[in-house]
Structure 1
């Protein structure tokens, strides 16, 4: 049974956001990729789409998710389910970090406006 020890979990950074890979094909998973996301206060989310459903479980802080045309306020304990092929942007307008765990099927891809679909490195 594969295990990812926290000290060995890879991290990936975008401006204001840190992704920590927990499970993925490179870490022994065959069905789902799982990661921890930490969004710093004042970070505006980058709009993107996903080829498959993505699930976020909010662990701490407060965030705002724009899913399609709808705005959702998120706080500790909330779960957000994002349908495939729907615009998504996660923002932290608060004063504390927003943290969540995300689950995404292996083989799923992200699509940024004007770019080719790709597998996020934390999900590989």
Structure 2
């Protein structure tokens, strides 16, 4: 059973948050899962984007508003959010507390943004990439 030491984690900073890879196949995981830790500072708003696989987000601290095609949700510490594949989403951290979450998805999940959405971290339109924290 592999142990992934804290010194082996990959930390990726974006303009809106910090994603820290906790376990992926490239770190010794064998279940085909990617697990990462997300931290958004108070009031930060991520870009509108989607992933090509389902993701499970458990909020461990703070709160967030999540805009989805079906409507807007508010989630707080202790809540788990199941995000369907290919649903556009945009997350905004609570203005006072921010939020912290643990996310699980199939390893190799690919992210993309609408063609007209400005984003430095994910491709636009039909191009899709595996983000660093899910590799």
TM-score (norm 2): 0.86
CA contact (8 A) 2:54 2:82 kept: yes
- Secondary structure of 2:94's aligned partner: coil
Which stretch of the first structure deviates more once superposed, 85-94 or 2-11?
A: 2-11
1:48 touches 1:88 (CA, 8 Å); kept in 2? yes
> What's the CA shift for 1:88?
1.1
Structure 2 residues without counterparts, runs of 5 or longer = 116-123
CA shift for structure 1 position 66: 1.2
1:3 is displaced (CA, Å) by: 1.7
User: Which aligned runs of 4 or more in structure 1 are off by greater than 6 angstroms?
Assistant: none
Which residue pairs with 1:122 in the alignment? Answer: 133
CA distance in structure 2 between the partners assigned to 1:65 and 1:5 by the alignment: 32
Q: Equivalent residue of 2:21, what SS?
A: strand
Shift of residue 113, structure 1, vs aligned partner: 2.1
8 Å CA contact 1:64, 1:74 repeated in 2: yes
Q: Residues 1-124 of structure 1: matches in 2 within 5 Å?
A: 1-30=1-30, 31-114=32-115, 115=124, 116-124=127-135
TM-fit CA distance, 1:78: 0.1
Whether the 8 Å contact between 2:62 and 2:94 is mirrored in structure 1 is no
Bigger relative contact order (CA 8 A; separation at least 6):
1
Please give the TM-score of this superposition, normalised by the length of structure 1. Answer: 0.93
